[in-house]
Amino acid sequence: MHDKTAFAHLFPATTLREYDIRGIVGETLHTADAFAIGRTFGSIVARKGGSRVAVGRDGRLSSPEFSATLIEGLIASGMHVTDIGVGPTPMLYFAATTEATDGAIMVTGSHNPANYNGFKMMMGRKPFFGDDIQTLGRLAAAGDVVAPAEGSVVTRDISAAYLARLLQDWDGGDRALNVVWDSGNGSAGDVLQRLVKALRGRHTVLNAEIDGRFPAHHPDPTVPKNLEQLVTAVRKQGADIGIAFDGDADRIGIVDDTGEILFGDQFLILLARDVLATHPGATIIADVKASQVLFDQIEKAGGKPLMWKTGHSLIKSKMAETGAPLAGEMSGHIFFADKWYGFDDALYAAIRVLNAVIHSGKSVSAFRKSLPQVLNTPELRFDCEESRKFSVVAEVAERLRADGATVSQTDGVRVNTEDGWWLLRASNTQAVLVARAEAATPAGLARLKATLASQLAASGLAPDFSGANAGH
């Protein structure tokens, strides 16, 4: 027996999140944490009878050191590691799904600022999240790991195989598109530049160099400010479409040919129509933050809309359970099980978006303008103590039920009224409440926001709704 106390490691509680382990480099995240993650995750794999783990990393300045230390921890648990190097998170998912692996870890801070980093994990072919991460934290704190063993590491470039698989589902058709891409100096850069060379049409890649300082702009395509450079380039070139990625390329943003931004629940309609043409009657999943227009349009296209909880790991699990060929989130995570493997991959989603645009025979702006016009707020975030956020949502739900309101509690509370709907949910990753509202008229939206504000006030919060109007 080995001395467990010698291996005990305590993670800061804030880093053990719902979907990954993430923190601020040098403050809440250190190389000692990386080693402990490798040591403990490797022990979990070993106890399940496995021994092979794939590791990848993004382009952050801290990622090489974190990756090297993580691998040391895995080797110390007897793991045989395949290091796939720098690239998008979906390329690591691809390796874990198509290669003979028992687990996988991606070193990435995703769309967080440059001074953050973290670890996304898979066990077998499934996401490792929620209770799995808390269990890893408890095992590490107790030093409950396997006896020291000698593993190994090999470096393997799988980018060519990944590119070939992406291109397998490219349907160039007879329409050559003019596309502007923004890699945001994220980890997709090298793969993306090779990908566009194989695509028909004209392709311009902005910020292709992988640079963990993110000098051009923050790599989060859900924030309109981060798309300003792409919008300008699309308008200047008269391009057909603009496509942006986040820092590790598991989320996608879209700009149409007039430079207008399409939200995740809008371009998911385009993709859903395309998928339903070959899978009539299929279930299409979207998260609770999505517009009612999306669910209505899926039904209109002959699909079965399913509203589900926000969170890429939760969506992936629900897809596997229901056999849905397509799912998406407002945050730009798009999941294809039709022809693909069910994980979120912005590069693959981009291929399918281009296919759908070509198949539609229309411009992206014509598609956008054809959708029912509604007014909605962007995602609103209100600070709320970690210990209070879930109880506030429960209090709101209880009051609404007592008033006889129509409430869905799939994830938080989503309330339908004659004006439209509003949503309140607790973030799984931050000490905030997230809200959204949508109506057909400005007066209707004002009423929904007033109801939401009164409910928050009844639970002791004072929300600020400044800048909370948008249209799509």
- Where do the domains of the chain lie, and which CATH numbers do they carry? 4-157 (3.40.120.10), 161-370 (3.40.120.10), 375-471 (3.30.310.50)
| Cα 72 from Cα 85, distance rounded (Å) | 15
pLDDT at 3: 64
Q: Tell me which long-range contacts 132-139 makes (C-beta under 8 A, separation of at least 24).
A: 133/16, 133/17, 133/18, 133/20, 133/21, 134/16, 135/44, 136/16, 136/21, 136/37, 136/40, 136/41, 136/44, 137/11, 137/16, 139/40, 139/43, 139/44
Cβ contact 369:471 at 8 Å:
no
* Tokens representing residue 451 in the block: 């109801």
427 labelled catalytic: no
pLDDT at 388: 93
| Cα 249 from Cα 272, distance rounded (Å) | 21
| Cα 229 from Cα 215, distance rounded (Å) | 12
Q: What is the number of alpha carbons within 13 Å of residue 313 lying toward its C-beta?
A: 19
pLDDT in tens, the chain (472 residues): 566 677 899 999 889 998 999 999 999 999 999 999 999 999 999 999 999 999 999 999 999 999 999 999 999 999 999 999 999 999 999 999 999 999 999 999 998 999 999 999 999 999 999 999 999 999 999 999 999 999 999 999 999 999 999 999 999 777 899 999 999 999 999 999 999 999 999 999 999 999 999 999 999 999 999 999 999 999 999 999 999 999 999 999 999 999 999 999 999 999 999 999 999 999 999 999 999 999 999 999 999 999 999 988 899 999 999 999 999 999 999 999 999 999 999 999 999 999 999 999 999 999 999 999 999 988 888 999 988 999 999 999 999 999 998 899 999 999 999 999 999 999 887 889 999 999 999 999 999 999 999 999 999 998 776 645 444 5
pLDDT at 168: 97
| Cα 409 from Cα 395, distance rounded (Å) | 12
pLDDT at 471: 47
* Tokens representing residue 260 in the block: 């207008």
Residue 362's identity, in one-letter code, is: K
CB atoms within 10 A of CB 14: 16
Strand partners, 103: 53, 123
Considering 77, 110, 291, 313, which one is annotated as catalytic? 110
pLDDT at 2: 60
pLDDT at 431: 85
Does the model's pTM come out above 0.75? yes
Residue with token string 């798309």: 227
| Cα 444 from Cα 442, distance rounded (Å) | 5
> What are the angstrom distances between the C-alpha of 385 and each of 13, 382, 391?
15, 10, 10
